[in-house]
Every structure is written in structure tokens, then in C-alpha cells.
Amino acid sequence: MFRKIGIEALKQVTKKYARKQNRWVKNRFLSRPGPSAPPVYGLEVSDVSKWEESVLKPALEIVQSFIQGRKPTATPIKMPYNEAENKRSYHKCNICDRIIIGDREWAAHIKSKSHLNQLKKRRRLDSDAVNTMESQSISPDHNKEPKEKGSPEQNDQELKCCI
């Protein structure tokens, strides 16, 4: 019984580790390749019964071609690249008070956990301020005349500034 539980736990941890490795390879070599990034080749590993013909032989052929200094017959994996993407664009995130350079970096920042947490905090503070303003306008002192009367536009602008 404990053996089966241990085997299942080992399988889960191994799958999790494999996903983490795949994500690291994708981020390091495919999404943001540098000038020294090696080519990455994909092999079909889903069917264990075809391991030798779909994994071992193609992998050995790729390695042998590199050793011999020739180009392998397999083609490396390429991530789709958007030509319209600007690497030098300038974005300012007013929520996080950060400057982000590059469209891809900006998209990553907008989805990041830190940005989403800052956004959530900002929305919470804004809703608290609105609730505070509403509770002040409902208070018994609300019926009293204000000391200074201004135009309705000025009062609206002052209210917007407070929020």
C-alpha cells in the first residue's frame, strides 16, 4: 500500500519537474533567445512504445550531425515572432510606478503577479475612498448649508479631485 502511494507521489513530482523544465527551456531559449542560444529540437515523446524510433534515433542523429559539423535534417523549434513588435518602445506603468521598455516586456508586466496585486490594491483603495465620500454625504451634517458656495462645476471638480 505504501509502495503504491510512494510511486504515485513520485510520478506527480516527476511530471511537475518536467513541466518546470519545459517552461524554463521555453523561456530561456525560445521566447527570449540570446546570441549564444543553441537551437532547440522537439521530439515526440508521448508514446513510450515508439521510444527508439521517435526519440532515440532522431536525438542521436542530431547529436552526430553536430559532432560531425553538419546541419541536422531535423528543423529546430522556432517561436512565432511578431515583426511589428517594438523592442525599444517606452511604457510607463502608473500603477506600479515603473518604466518598461519593449512591447513584449510590457505585455509580460501587465500579466505579472506584482502588477495585478498593485492593481487590486489600487481598486480597493479607490472603492474605499468612494464609500467614504458617500458615507460623508449621507451624514446628518449634509443638510447644513456650506460656508462657501461655488458653481456646480467647481463642486464637481473638487469632488473628482478628492476621489
Predicted TM-score (pTM) of the model is 0.43
Domain span including residue 121? 90-134
> What does the pLDDT average to over 56-66?
93
Phi and psi at residue 129, to the nearest 5°: -65, -40
Question: What is the tens place of the pLDDT at every residue in 141-150?
Answer: 555 554 445 5
DSSP assignment of 99-133 equals EEESHHHHHHHHHSHHHHHHHHHHHHHHHHHHHHH
Which helix H or strand E contains 156, and what residues bound it?
Answer: helix 152-162
| Per-residue exposure over 57-95, b if at least 16 CB sit within 10 Å of its own CB, e if not | ebeeebeeeeeeeeebeeeeeeeeeeeeeeeeeeeebee
Say if residue 45's pLDDT is above 90.
no
Question: What is the tens place of the pLDDT at every residue in 108-129?
Answer: 899 999 999 999 999 998 888 8
Examine residue 101 and state whether it is found in any structural domain, yes or no. yes
Say if residue 88's pLDDT is above 60.
yes
Do residues 46 and 98 both lie within one domain?
no
Examine residue 149 and state whether it is found in any structural domain, yes or no. no
In sequence order, the 6+-apart residues with CB closer than 8 A to the CB of 49 are none
Where is pLDDT greater, at 86 or 104?
A: 104
How many Å separate Cα 162 from the centre of its chain?
Answer: 34
Do residues 7 and 63 both lie within one domain?
yes
CA atoms within 13 A on the CB side of 139: 9
| Domain count along the chain | 2
Kindly state the percentage of the chain with pLDDT values over 90.
38
Examine residue 148 and state whether it is found in any structural domain, yes or no. no
Examine residue 158 and state whether it is found in any structural domain, yes or no. no
Confidence class for position 58, pLDDT limits 50, 70, 90? very high
Our CA angle for 39, 44, 50, nearest 5°, is 135
pLDDT at position 67 is 94
Do residues 64 and 2 both lie within one domain?
yes
Examine residue 140 and state whether it is found in any structural domain, yes or no. no
Where is pLDDT greater, at 137 or 120?
A: 120
Do residues 100 and 61 both lie within one domain?
no
Do residues 58 and 121 both lie within one domain?
no
